[in-house]
C-alpha cells in the first residue's frame, strides 16, 4: 500500500494525512493512551482506556474492548456490503454474505480479534489472501479485492 502511495505526490493535505496515518498504523504509532502517556506522562495521568476504564488503551485493546463492539459491528456490516457490491458489479461474482464474513472478518472470537489487530495496522494475513484467491481464482482480482 505504501509503495503505491509513494509513486503519487502528496500534493494535498488530505493525501499527506492519509499517507501519515498509514505509516503510523503500520508502525504501531497511532496516538493511543499508552503511547500518549509514554510521551507525556505529565499531561496523561493514566494509560486506562477511556471507553471501558478496565485495561490500558492500546491498538490491541481497541480491537478487543467490549465498549467498541457496536462500532466493530457497524464496520463489519459496511465492509461486507461494500465488498459484496464490488465483487458483483466489477467481476460478476456472487458470494453469500456469510461466506464473506467468515473469510474477511473471521470465524470465531479469537480469529476475529486477531484479524482486527492486523486490519487496524493496515495489514492482512497470508491465510486470507489464499482463501480469497481460491474464491476469485485470480491473483490480480485478489489484490484488488483486498487492497
pLDDT of residue 138: 85
What percent of the chain is helix, strand and coil (3-state, nearest 5)?
A: 65, 0, 35
pLDDT of residue 8: 60
pLDDT of residue 44: 93
pLDDT of residue 3: 62
CA distance 84 to 115: 19
pLDDT (tens digit, 0 to 9) for every residue of the chain, 147 residues total?
566 656 566 677 887 787 788 788 878 888 899 999 999 999 999 999 999 999 999 989 999 999 999 999 999 999 999 989 988 898 888 889 999 999 999 999 999 999 999 988 888 888 899 998 988 888 888 887 777
Work out the angle at residue 45's Cα, subtended by the Cα atoms of residues 44 and 49, and round it to the nearest 5 degrees: 80
What does pTM read for this prediction?
0.78
Amino acid at each position: 500500500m505504501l509503495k503505491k502511495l509513494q509513486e503519487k505526490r502528496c500534493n494535498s493535505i488530505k493525501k499527506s494525512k492519509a499517507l501519515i496515518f498509514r505509516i503510523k498504523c503500520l508502525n504501531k504509532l497511532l496516538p493511543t493512551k499508552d503511547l500518549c502517556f509514554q510521551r507525556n506522562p505529565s499531561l496523561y495521568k493514566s494509560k486506562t482506556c477511556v471507553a471501558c476504564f478496565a485495561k490500558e488503551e492500546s491498538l490491541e485493546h481497541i480491537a478487543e474492548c467490549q465498549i467498541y463492539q457496536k462500532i466493530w459491528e457497524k464496520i463489519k456490516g459496511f465492509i461486507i456490503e461494500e465488498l459484496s457490491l464490488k465483487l458483483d458489479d466489477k467481476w460478476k461474482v456472487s458470494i453469500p454474505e456469510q461466506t464473506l464474513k467468515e473469510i474477511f472478518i473471521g470465524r470465531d472470537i479469537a480469529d476475529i480479534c486477531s484479524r482486527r489487530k492486523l486490519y487496524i495496522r493496515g495489514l492482512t494475513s497470508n491465510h486470507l489472501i489464499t482463501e480469497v484467491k481460491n474464491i476469485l481464482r485470480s491473483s490480480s482480482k485478489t489484490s484488488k479485492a483486498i487492497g
